[in-house]
């Protein structure tokens, strides 16, 4: 019984054909090619004309692999073997059509998979390069703007301290507001860059929700009264006051949403509504909603408004307020960092509701509000120095405009003698030849950078130069940059544009 099965299955794809020297078919088992006896093998397929050239040399078996033949309108992929026998010539045809077809399909699938993988890799590399270019552009763009903005802010500060007419004072006030808006724009661009590059980290601390909401209530109530708009903060009474999370980023999210609401609401009401979704173990899940009666957002725009530099400005003749289109993009990025998502329900002319759910931790029971309340802000006091003498300052700055305004603003305080250099290579020469109380240096100096100079100073063995206080000023604003600059030996680093009083306070810490 088994012999019968073996013959049936072992030979069904193998055909034996016996031919004579002229190619006439003498005998065949008709396994898969139905051949007529007494016809020639050459009628089967032109490949068999090969027999004419090899028959005299068939001392050994000769095998041809992967021969494609077509017989009676059917294609076969075969291995064909020729052998000389006593009673003629034997042709053994093995049908591997299904095997080669399956192998080809597998190979094609594998090749397609490899190609698709390479395409994905190329696409990812392209996206990565685009992201690097974008972040590099934003970084350089921000850097280049901060120097002139520092000059503008400083000059405005100097002007505000002079005798001005009412009209001139109004102009200076307008300049100060414009400077503040431009600085906020730079900070927003920096936030976008830090979020997209993964360099923005959350910092969780215990804070009071009621204090946060009171600050928002005070800030936007004043803004609403100027616009004749109603503003309300509604807080679920079941929400506990103390929570743990990133207060700064939550505040940034809410202010961006509220600013957006005020931007597009000309009349009516804006509401900040905070509700408790659920409380589980030491976690609170809160729903934050900003509801306005403004112009609304069409369905097709409800996705694009969260992209960078996208806004509802319409055409140039539109009455809608103009803006940068960064606020909602920052909201989206910050909430993603906090494992949340911004959503919107809106329609044109019917207002909008922007909302998100956020989980905050609850602190341990022994943490009370009095433990974490920030001390009351003291009234700003005029900066005082510990000594009545004038201090000698070495100012290193290569931008002539920044150099000029810093020199004048510091000189006008009557606290300092100031020497100027514009090249990092000149700093060490000045420090060796003269005694200075403090070095105020830009980081990005020509020839030798400010951080490189700081390293040289901290390793300098003579004249006690290594102990001079160093304050760096920079147009770079990434936190990683600040850490690197301080690690180089700088006592403090200020980001341009900085406030004049902030600079004086920082200098006063290191001048004795």
pLDDT digits (tens, 9 = 90+) for 167-205: 888 788 777 767 776 776 677 766 767 777 677 788 889
Residues 285 and 342 in one domain: yes
Residue 405 has pLDDT above 70, yes or no: yes
Cis preceding linkage at 37, omega within 30: no
Nearest to 411 by CA among 509, 496, 504: 504
Residues 43 and 91 in one domain: yes
**Mean pLDDT, to the nearest integer, of 70-76?**
91
- DSSP strand pairing (25-28 vs 14-19): antiparallel
Residues 366 and 407 in one domain: no
Asked if residue 136 is part of any domain, the answer here is: no
Nearest to 247 by CA among 191, 210, 200, 203: 203
Residue 145 has pLDDT above 90, yes or no: no
- What pLDDT is recorded for position 6? 54
Q: Which of 229-243, 301-315, 382-396 has the highest mean pLDDT?
A: 229-243
Q: Which of 95, 121, 152 is the last residue of a domain?
A: 95
Asked if residue 409 is part of any domain, the answer here is: yes
Asked if residue 294 is part of any domain, the answer here is: yes
In the chain, the number of structural domains is 3
- What pLDDT is recorded for position 141? 66
- What pLDDT is recorded for position 260? 92
**Mean pLDDT, to the nearest integer, of 375-397?**
73
Asked if residue 239 is part of any domain, the answer here is: yes
Q: Which has the higher per-residue pLDDT, 392 or 146?
A: 392
Copy the structure tokens of residue 219: 């800030």
- What CATH number is attached to the domain comprising 71? 3.30.450.20
User: What is the extent of the structural domain holding 293?
Assistant: 205-372
**Confidence band, pLDDT 50/70/90 cuts, at residue 271:** very high
Residue 342 has pLDDT above 90, yes or no: yes
Q: How many residues does the chain have?
A: 512
Residues 252 and 356 in one domain: yes
Q: Which of 95, 112, 132 is the last residue of a domain?
A: 95
Could you give the percent of the chain with pLDDT greater than 70?
A: 86
- What pLDDT is recorded for position 9? 58
CB half-sphere exposure, 490, CA atoms < 13 A: 26
Copy the structure tokens of residue 277: 């979704």
Asked if residue 413 is part of any domain, the answer here is: yes
- DSSP strand pairing (391-396 vs 438-442): parallel
**Confidence band, pLDDT 50/70/90 cuts, at residue 112:** confident
Residue 344 has pLDDT above 90, yes or no: yes
Residue 261 has pLDDT above 90, yes or no: yes
Residues 231 and 312 in one domain: yes
- What pLDDT is recorded for position 314? 44
Residue 222 has pLDDT above 80, yes or no: yes
**Mean pLDDT, to the nearest integer, of 152-160?**
79
Residue 415 contacts residue 384 (beta carbons within 8 Å)? no
Residues 367 and 418 in one domain: no
- DSSP strand pairing (242-245 vs 74-85): unpaired
Asked if residue 269 is part of any domain, the answer here is: yes
- What pLDDT is recorded for position 310? 54
Residues 302 and 420 in one domain: no
Asked if residue 253 is part of any domain, the answer here is: yes
**Confidence band, pLDDT 50/70/90 cuts, at residue 377:** very low
| DSSP H or E stretch at residue 252 | helix 247-263
- What pLDDT is recorded for position 373? 52
pTM: 0.54
Residues 395 and 341 in one domain: no
Asked if residue 380 is part of any domain, the answer here is: no
Residues 286 and 351 in one domain: yes
- What pLDDT is recorded for position 318? 47
Residues 343 and 422 in one domain: no
Q: Which has the higher per-residue pLDDT, 324 or 433?
A: 433
Quote the mean pLDDT of the chain. 84
Residues 252 and 354 in one domain: yes
Rounded-to-integer distance, Cα 334 and Cα 253, Å: 7
Residues 211 and 358 in one domain: yes
**Confidence band, pLDDT 50/70/90 cuts, at residue 10:** low
pLDDT tens digits for 414-460?
899 999 999 988 999 999 989 999 999 999 898 899 999 999 999 99
- What CATH number is attached to the domain comprising 430? 3.40.50.2300
Q: Which of 72, 95, 118 is the last residue of a domain?
A: 95
Nearest to 145 by CA among 86, 190, 176: 190
Nearest to 33 by CA among 60, 67, 65: 67
Could you give the percent of the chain with pLDDT greater than 90?
A: 40
- What CATH number is attached to the domain comprising 248? 3.30.565.10
């Amino acid at each position: 019984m088994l012999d019968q099965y073996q013959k049936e299955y072992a030979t069904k794809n193998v055909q034996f054909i016996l031919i004579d020297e002229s190619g006439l078919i003498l005998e065949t088992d008709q396994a898969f090619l139905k051949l007529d006896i007494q016809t020639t093998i050459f009628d089967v397929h032109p490949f068999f004309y090969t027999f004419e050239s090899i028959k005299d040399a068939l001392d050994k078996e000769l095998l041809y692999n992967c021969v494609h033949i077509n017989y009676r309108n059917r294609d076969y992929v075969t291995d064909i073997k020729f052998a000389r026998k006593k009673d003629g010539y034997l042709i053994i045809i093995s049908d591997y059509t299904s095997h080669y077809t399956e192998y080809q399909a597998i190979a094609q699938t594998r090749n397609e998979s490899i190609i698709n993988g390479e395409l994905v890799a190329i696409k990812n590399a392209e996206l990565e390069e685009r992201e690097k270019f974008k972040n590099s552009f934003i970084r350089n763009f921000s850097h280049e703007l901060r120097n002139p903005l520092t000059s503008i802010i400083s000059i405005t500060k100097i002007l505000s301290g002079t005798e001005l007419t009412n009209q001139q004072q109004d102009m200076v006030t307008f300049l100060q507001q414009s400077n503040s808006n431009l600085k906020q724009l730079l900070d927003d661009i920096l936030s976008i860059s830090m979020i997209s590059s993964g360099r923005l980290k959350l910092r969780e601390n215990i804070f009071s929700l009621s204090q946060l909401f009171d600050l928002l209530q005070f800030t936007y109530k004043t803004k609403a009264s100027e616009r004749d708009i109603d503003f309300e903060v509604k807080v679920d009474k079941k929400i506990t006051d103390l929570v743990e999370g990133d207060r700064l980023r939550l505040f940034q999210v809410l202010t961006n949403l509220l600013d957006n609401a005020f931007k597009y609401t000309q009349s009516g009401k804006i509401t900040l509504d905070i509700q408790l979704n659920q409380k589980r173990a030491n976690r609170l899940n809160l729903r934050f909603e900003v509801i306005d009666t403004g112009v609304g957002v069409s369905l097709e725009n409800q996705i694009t408004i969260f992209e960078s530099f996208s806004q509802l400005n319409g055409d140039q003749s539109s009455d809608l307020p103009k803006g940068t289109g960064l606020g909602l993009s920052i909201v989206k990025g910050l909430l993603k960092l906090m494992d949340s998502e911004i959503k919107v329900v809106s329609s044109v002319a019917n207002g909008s509701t922007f909302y998100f759910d956020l989980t905050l931790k609850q602190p341990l029971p022994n943490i009370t509000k009095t433990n974490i309340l920030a001390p009351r802000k003291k009234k700003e006091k005029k900066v005082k120095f510990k000594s009545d003498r004038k201090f000698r300052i070495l100012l290193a700055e290569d931008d002539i405009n920044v150099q000029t305004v810093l020199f004048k603003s510091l000189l006008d305080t009557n606290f300092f003698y100031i020497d100027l250099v514009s090249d990092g290579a000149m700093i060490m020469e000045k420090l060796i030849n003269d005694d200075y109380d403090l070095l105020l240096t830009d980081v990005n100096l020509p020839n030798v950078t400010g951080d490189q100079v700081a390293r040289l100073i901290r390793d300098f063995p003579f004249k006690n130069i290594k102990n001079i206080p160093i304050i760096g000023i920079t147009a770079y604003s990434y936190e990683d940059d600040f850490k690197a600059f301080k690690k180089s030996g700088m006592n403090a680093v200020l980001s341009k544009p900085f406030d004049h009083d902030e600079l004086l306070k920082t200098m006063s810490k290191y001048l004795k």
